[in-house]
Structure 1
Amino acid sequence: MEFQIKNSTIITKQKSECLVISIDSGKSQSDFVKEIDKSTNGLVSQLIKSGDISHELGKTTLLYATSSNLKQKLLFVGCGNAKAFDLMQAQKVIQAVIKELLAKKIKSIAWDLLNVNHTNSLQIAKQLPQIVSDITYQFDEFKTTKTPAPSLTKVTLLVSEKSMLTKLTNNLLQGEIIANAITATKTIANMPSNVCNAKYLAEQGKQLSKVHPSLKVTCLGEKELAKLNMNAYLAVGRGSQNESIMTIIEYQGAKDKKAQPYVLVGKGLTFDSGGISIKPAAGMDEMKYDMCGAATVYGVMQAVAELKLPINVVGVMAGCENMPDGNSYRPGDILTTMSGTTVEVINTDAEGRLVLCDALTYVERYNPKTVIDIATLTGACIVALGHHYTGVMGNNDKLVAQLVSASQKAGDKAWALPIDNEFQEQIKSTCADIVNAGGRDGGTITAACFLSRFTEKYQWAHLDIAGTAWKSGSQKGATGRPVAMLIQYLLDQ
């Protein structure tokens, strides 16, 4: 798909197959609409007046060649009140237009979208490639019949203000890079567990470093993890025939190579059966998505390299598989973590935090500026925030606020949850320092409390993506969230 931004005040001279025209609820339409109306001898204004062309948000009306002067197809889309046209409304409009274009097999368009409300045009330019990519994405690697490529191949956005052209073009390019990163994340996350294990994640990391020499990749297998006393991490994978491997991707973009890096740690449970505390059979197939945190790290690191960000970033994919076996760890076991903290295992299905706690201790060596872990950690987060918001918790209010702000800019919703000391009481153990599960009440927060015990030496935030990383049912598949939020956070830095 080719995207471009063009400075033009004349839409009828565009050579695209279809002209997409934004209609708002105001008494006076844009100059582009007036130009189209003149070219159609007043037909458009008549149709707007009669309501056949609607300003209702996302409502589309397609007209075929209307005169000898205008041979392009015309697709009108309602944008509501232009003054209130924000990022969320723009997303709905873009989705409606792209779906209509694909249904009609239109190949190229010119669109005046960025002129509806200049206040939000920069964000909209960044969002458009991501939305188009999401709608056209297909995971058909294992299908015998492949999905045909989408008919739409070129999108030209028209902007009347020449002074905005450079900034808009830069944002559009950023949007394409983010879209590619989200696609990469979704594809890895959608892989079945008989293909995607910790070794596969490690191989993907190595391949990424071959494409982007600015990335350095290190893979630590079970022998290396044992030398580091990462006993909690290793315990989770003991029942699996697939080796646990932690893959570290380092990027140095800052002028000062010793500058403190931003560290991302992704939970990479390539399959989670629950272990001895085995899960119910219904829906267990979706536990291949328990590595979406690691897949997110992969996508973000790809984007960081392509954007050539002037900061240092470290990404950790904590690959592992949780299976029941004669060698599996058990409820009642006590594990000594890399930090020396002891953990009583109450539930082997609360395994992600055991993998993460050692990985979070490991990254202390980088003297990080901030550390963000990303994990499909708790079903309780779905109860709290549904499938709409990623849960954000942490030990630094400024970092949490920055992540929520980035989520709003990126259109990738997140919501901050408290992490008060009262919740810490729920993870006390009678025979070890802490337990690995604090019960149903406040389950998302007590899981974060557990992780907080291993993050006291740096600024840390935890993203619980259990409700946002994938969809179930007929739309089953990874969403690629929260890649956009994290890239926006790094761009803000």
Structure 2
Amino acid sequence: MNIRVRQGQIQAERSTTLIVNLFQDARLTGAAKAVDQALGGVISAALDSGDFSGQKNELLLLYPGKDLKAHAARRVLVVGLGKLADFDLEAARQAAGTAARRLQDLGVEEAVTVLHGSGAGGLDTEATAEALAEGSLLACYRFDHYRSTNQARKQLRTLTVVESAPAKLNAIRRGLRTGVQIASATNLARDLGNHPGNVATPIYLASVARRLARQHGLSCRIIDQGSMKKLGMGALLAVAQGSAQPPRFIVLEHNKKAGGQPLVLVGKGVTFDSGGISLKSGEKMEDMKFDMCGAAAVLGAMQAVAALKIPHYVVGLVAATENLPDGRAFKPGDILKTLTGKTIEIVNTDAEGRLILADTLGYARRFNPAGVVDLATLTGACVVALGHHASGMFSNDEHLAERVRQAGEHTSERVWPLPLWAEYREQIKSDYADMKNTGGRPGGASTGAALLAEFAGEYPWVHLDIAGTAWSSQSKPYTPKGCVGLGVRLLVQLARTWKNKAKP
């Protein structure tokens, strides 16, 4: 989709479709009033009849007659913004997404819109333009790669923002450019998550990382099995040994020349998780292609970080493997030696994500990071605790945790702090090794995080358990079914506001 801005008055635009907005139970003002007057009061009539009140994401689609002042628009879409007191960037993002998806579903290919909320809503113009671009592009995402029919479905190809104030145009352009880059990166993550496991293999993820490096000037290193063995990545190699697909460890670096201690982003990349020898139930096992959504988020975030030329040193690490059962698969009772030298007794092979993250967090130490954030579809226990409305957050550093929380609030990818008390470490004590990979059902999200904390060491670290938020079974205003690309926008926002520490 091409999103652009030009100066003008929306009521004077010659477009097939106009998009205007209205706050709940508010009088017609601004662009909506101007369009209403140009169309002979059709919006006013809908308000007077009670058919439309401007509730959040409510839509009113009008088809002006040819006799109404010869207006060129065939359609006028009015989107409700909800109550003025509750309006924020997320509401602007949802309004843009709701409108764009409706028009795309109708087969509309071009439209003209106002900027939702920069006037009466009182929001920052650049941030609002960014939200509009994000909402529109994210809402129009489709994953049709494997359909043999419906390939010719029309898409909303051009969206023009009309702004009457010349002083706002540059801010809108900046916001639109940023929003397009972030949404494109999020849609990349969605594609990676939605591809089936027979396509999105560890080698495939490595090829995507190489492509991103070529296109965006990132440094890329791919570590294969032989190099993993030399490094001592015994946990990652153990998880991989039941699969015919070889594992890959991906290292992406952005702006290393900036110096200082980097922000390190870590993604769990289990491209298909059967549970291994501790085999999962067959019901909904097909969804286990989504067990690499943390990796997808990191790859997407690194694309956006590079495209936006963020002036900080940022590193992306992805451990990619399958977890399958065969005669070579690791099994309960095995003891694994990790990259850091610590050992883990295997109680359940379906608790594999923490194993590959153990080696990844250990590897992150070599960067002397200022902060590390890992994303992983780690535990069903986190879904039980928080449902599908927030990701669980665990941390050894309150300052970093607060920065992650703020980034999540800004992007509406909410996180909620969960405990990482010493008692959870007690639950994963082993009689035979330094620790065991599960601590039983009670507090499962916290015991999983407790194991990861053993490998984060002394650097500031946040773990985001995205098991309940990485994919969705229902569509939302700008989120489709399937992989939602969660975490990309949060990580990019964190990187945009990051300040590297000086080298010690």
Q: Is TM-score (shorter-chain normalized) higher than 0.5?
A: yes
Superposed, 1:299-448 pairs within 5 Å as: 299-448=300-449
Instruction: Tell me the distance in 1 between the aligned counterparts of 2:326 and 2:43.
Output: 70
Instruction: Tell me the distance in 1 between the aligned counterparts of 2:2 and 2:419.
Output: 43
- Counterpart for residue 453 of structure 2: 452
Residues 101, 140 of structure 2: 8 Å contact kept: no
- Counterpart for residue 110 of structure 2: 108
Instruction: Tell me the distance in 2 between the aligned counterparts of 1:434 and 1:367.
Output: 25
Residues 253, 308 of structure 1: 8 Å contact kept: no
Match of 2:487 among 482, 486, 492: 482
- Counterpart for residue 4 of structure 2: 4
Q: Which amino acid aligns with 1:487?
A: V
Superposed, 1:16-415 pairs within 5 Å as: 16-25=15-24, 28-66=27-65, 67-72=68-73, 73-112=75-114, 113=116, 114-119=118-123, 121-212=125-216, 214-252=217-255, 256=258, 258-415=259-416
Alpha carbons of structure 1 residues 34 and 330: separation in structure 2 relative to 1, 3 Å: closer
Shift in Å at residue 53 of structure 1?
Answer: 4.1
Alpha carbons of structure 1 residues 25 and 189: separation in structure 2 relative to 1, 3 Å: closer
Alpha carbons of structure 1 residues 428 and 161: separation in structure 2 relative to 1, 3 Å: farther
Alpha carbons of structure 1 residues 443 and 303: separation in structure 2 relative to 1, 3 Å: same
Residues 95, 135 of structure 2: 8 Å contact kept: no
Alpha carbons of structure 1 residues 100 and 198: separation in structure 2 relative to 1, 3 Å: closer
Instruction: Tell me the distance in 1 between the aligned counterparts of 2:228 and 2:222.
Output: 10
Alpha carbons of structure 1 residues 355 and 90: separation in structure 2 relative to 1, 3 Å: same
Instruction: Tell me the distance in 2 between the aligned counterparts of 1:377 and 1:149.
Output: 37
Residues 56, 82 of structure 2: 8 Å contact kept: yes
Q: Which amino acid aligns with 1:478?
A: C
* Range that drifts further, 240-249 or 136-145: 136-145
Residues 54, 77 of structure 1: 8 Å contact kept: no
Instruction: Tell me the distance in 2 between the aligned counterparts of 1:33 and 1:376.
Output: 44
CA-to-partner distance for each residue in 1:412-436, whole Å, 9 max, x for gaps? 2222222122221111112211111
Alpha carbons of structure 1 residues 340 and 146: separation in structure 2 relative to 1, 3 Å: same
Report the 3-state secondary structure (helix = DSSP H, G, I; strand = E; otherwise coil) of the residue aligned with 1:461. strand
Instruction: Tell me the distance in 2 between the aligned counterparts of 1:181 and 1:453.
Output: 32
Q: Which amino acid aligns with 1:235?
A: A
* Range that drifts further, 58-67 or 448-457: 58-67
* Range that drifts further, 39-48 or 103-112: 39-48
* Unaligned stretches of 5+ residues in structure 2: 499-504
Q: Which amino acid aligns with 2:78?
A: F
Instruction: Tell me the distance in 2 between the aligned counterparts of 1:33 and 1:195.
Output: 47
Residues 253, 309 of structure 1: 8 Å contact kept: no
Alpha carbons of structure 1 residues 155 and 464: separation in structure 2 relative to 1, 3 Å: same
Alpha carbons of structure 1 residues 158 and 115: separation in structure 2 relative to 1, 3 Å: farther
Residues 110, 156 of structure 1: 8 Å contact kept: yes
* Range that drifts further, 112-121 or 340-349: 112-121
Alpha carbons of structure 1 residues 169 and 228: separation in structure 2 relative to 1, 3 Å: same
Shift in Å at residue 301 of structure 1?
Answer: 1.0
Shift in Å at residue 179 of structure 1?
Answer: 0.9
Alpha carbons of structure 1 residues 135 and 446: separation in structure 2 relative to 1, 3 Å: same
Residues 54, 60 of structure 1: 8 Å contact kept: no
Alpha carbons of structure 1 residues 100 and 326: separation in structure 2 relative to 1, 3 Å: closer
Instruction: Tell me the distance in 2 between the aligned counterparts of 1:393 and 1:23.
Output: 40
Q: TM-score, normalised by structure 2?
A: 0.91
Q: TM-score, normalised by structure 1?
A: 0.93
Alpha carbons of structure 1 residues 251 and 103: separation in structure 2 relative to 1, 3 Å: closer
Instruction: Tell me the distance in 1 between the aligned counterparts of 2:86 and 2:466.
Output: 30
* Range that drifts further, 475-484 or 169-178: 475-484
Instruction: Tell me the distance in 1 between the aligned counterparts of 2:419 and 2:299.
Output: 28
CA-to-partner distance for each residue in 1:107-134, whole Å, 9 max, x for gaps? 3222222434122554432223333333
Instruction: Tell me the distance in 2 between the aligned counterparts of 1:103 and 1:276.
Output: 44
Alpha carbons of structure 1 residues 12 and 401: separation in structure 2 relative to 1, 3 Å: same
Residues 59, 99 of structure 2: 8 Å contact kept: yes
Instruction: Tell me the distance in 2 between the aligned counterparts of 1:42 and 1:204.
Output: 52
CA-to-partner distance for each residue in 1:310-352, whole Å, 9 max, x for gaps? 1111111101111112221111111121111111111111111
Instruction: Tell me the distance in 2 between the aligned counterparts of 1:42 and 1:304.
Output: 46
Alpha carbons of structure 1 residues 279 and 164: separation in structure 2 relative to 1, 3 Å: same
Residues 378, 447 of structure 1: 8 Å contact kept: yes
- Counterpart for residue 501 of structure 2: none
Instruction: Tell me the distance in 2 between the aligned counterparts of 1:327 and 1:229.
Output: 19
Shift in Å at residue 175 of structure 1?
Answer: 1.0
Alpha carbons of structure 1 residues 326 and 401: separation in structure 2 relative to 1, 3 Å: same
- Number of aligned residue pairs: 489
* Range that drifts further, 382-391 or 116-125: 116-125
CA-to-partner distance for each residue in 1:223-242, whole Å, 9 max, x for gaps? 11111111111111111122
Instruction: Tell me the distance in 2 between the aligned counterparts of 1:55 and 1:48.
Output: 9
Residues 138, 147 of structure 1: 8 Å contact kept: no
Instruction: Tell me the distance in 2 between the aligned counterparts of 1:15 and 1:194.
Output: 47
Report the 3-state secondary structure (helix = DSSP H, G, I; strand = E; otherwise coil) of the residue aligned with 2:100. helix
Instruction: Tell me the distance in 2 between the aligned counterparts of 1:284 and 1:27.
Output: 48
Instruction: Tell me the distance in 1 between the aligned counterparts of 2:77 and 2:444.
Output: 48
Residues 38, 69 of structure 2: 8 Å contact kept: no
Shift in Å at residue 60 of structure 1?
Answer: 2.0
Instruction: Tell me the distance in 2 between the aligned counterparts of 1:482 and 1:253.
Output: 23
CA-to-partner distance for each residue in 1:167-209, whole Å, 9 max, x for gaps? 3321221111111111111111222222222111111111222
Residues 115, 160 of structure 1: 8 Å contact kept: no
